[in-house]
Homo-oligomer: A and B are copies of this chain.
Amino acid sequence: MGVLTVLEGIGVFAFAMSGAYVATQKNMDLFGIYTLAIVTAMGGGITRDVVMGRGIPVFFTSYRSFFIILVAATLVLFLKNYYKWTFIITIMDAIGLAVFTVDTCIKAAASHYNLLSFVFMSVITAVGGGVIRDLLCSRVPVIMRREIYATASLAGALLYWAIYRFAGELISCYVCIAFIVAFRLASVYFRFNLPRIRRGAAGEEDG
């Protein structure tokens, strides 16, 4: 699982950077920046462990993840041209999305969850951190607006469910990570979206 650990580290790093960056955008103080980095990187996993009733969330006991988060958030403080890094951060974030999804797939499969629980837990773990980040910043969660994001996680979890029984854990793991990363990056590159429902006149929109 050496490769998975490295990929997970990259995911934590990318999620922490995105949290810290949003905090600087919102003009928060140092506490807010580090808090948002921690919450974004750990939120999904903590939610999973709490909902699954696994006792103390695994992230609370992981010094390595915590250290990665601190480094990532500190890096954002000194980054002058964050926008120039957007390309690299998007790739890292896609890796994070993929690894967090598959990570939970492995655990859920080992616990013999049914399909619904399996998919819900995988997607919640992958996108939960970002949702909590956006809630703490009083904005509509990005996953509910933007391009294909949670959908890539969902499709990857379904793929894992479909193949892991005969392809084995290791192969399914890498296939699904590659699939989610490719799906997510393709959606960014080609700017394709899920359809929206346009509804009536502008006057009705302010529900």
Contacts and interface: CB of A to CB of B under 8 A. Distances in A.
Interface of A: 22-33, 35-36, 46, 50-57, 60-63, 66, 77, 113-114, 116-117, 120-121, 131, 135-141, 143-145, 148, 150-151, 154, 193-199, 204-207
A139 B77 CA distance: 25
A136 B145 contact: no
Copies of this chain: 3
Contact of A32 (B50, B114, B145): B145
A195 B27 CA distance: 10
A138 B136 contact: no
Contacts of A25: 199, 204-207
A44 to B, nearest CB: 14
A28 B66 CA distance: 34
